[in-house]
Amino acid sequence: MSIFKETKLLNTGASIPLVAYGTYFETDAEAKCKVGLKAALKDAGYIHIDTARHYGTEAAIGEVLKELFAEGVLKREDLFITTKVWPTSWDDVEGSLNGSLKDLGVDYVDLLLQHWPLCFTKDSKPVEGADHLDTYKQMMDIYRNGGGKVKAIGVSNYSNPYLERLLQLPDVVVPAVDQLEVHPLLSQVEVMNFCKEKGILVEAFSPFGGGGAPVLKIPAIVELADKYEVSPADICVNYHVQSGRIALPRSENAERIKKGYKNVKLTKEDIEKLDKIGTEHAKRYIKFLVEDDLGFSDYKKKSS
């Protein structure tokens, strides 16, 4: 089976593909997204798209989907689409969602995430006295009463203390996923264990690290790639999939995207070896939006 067809059950009972095409690009986002997404869906075989209102690529995704639907390459029901609500829309989740649906050209998303547990003004300054859980409450209401526009809801960048507080909400909808930076240099063991206990799947963004894909250069990753005669990227993606996580790799290179990722049967020892790499000296590549650790004990303000 293609690695893109491998799935896991969400706590809603729906299936989520374990590898998604990430659609965040720092520059020339729309053009890069169109080229990359078309290669991902049409050539590589991806069926899971991860996007966000903040990425500015939803309209580009919508154009690609319209084209591929018209060609008969794919149908809406073949795909799993995730989008996210940015902190500037903390008090208007419905408006953010409707904008996403319009740009994507679809009637529903399979998963809606709260991008960060933060509340910002329209000019991206913290809102004094606001509670980020108000955003999740709106998401719960849309999930329950939104006419099917959202099939599941979840969170992103939530630490254990933040998850614990969320789960204390009255009549709470347990998040289907928590999307985090996860890779061998940042194993997130505490959050991983907590999510497993609560039936929350973990999605790993930046699985190759930051710019330059530093994780792919880790000696243990390179050794395993040589051992199995595959690429370091194949090892990283399979590491997440075989650990029960959703991997969110991203690439701007259409030819690289078309090749996809090979299935690799890692041993228990292989996975344990990778798990241990970042246990003592965790390293983050994605900086937080505020000067706060957001409950993550390992967070360093000068992550790079």
Return the active site residues: 55
Binding residues: 115
Indicate the annotated binding residues for substrate. Answer: 115
Residue 270 CB neighbours (<10 A): 20
Distance, in Å, from the CA atom of 81 to the CA atom of 215, rounded to the nearest integer, reads 27
- Asked if residue 265 lies in contact with residue 37, where contact means CB atoms within 8 angstroms, the answer is no
Q: Name 122's bridge partners.
A: none
d(CA 99, CA 227): 47
What are phi and psi for residue 257, nearest 5 degrees?
Answer: -60, -40
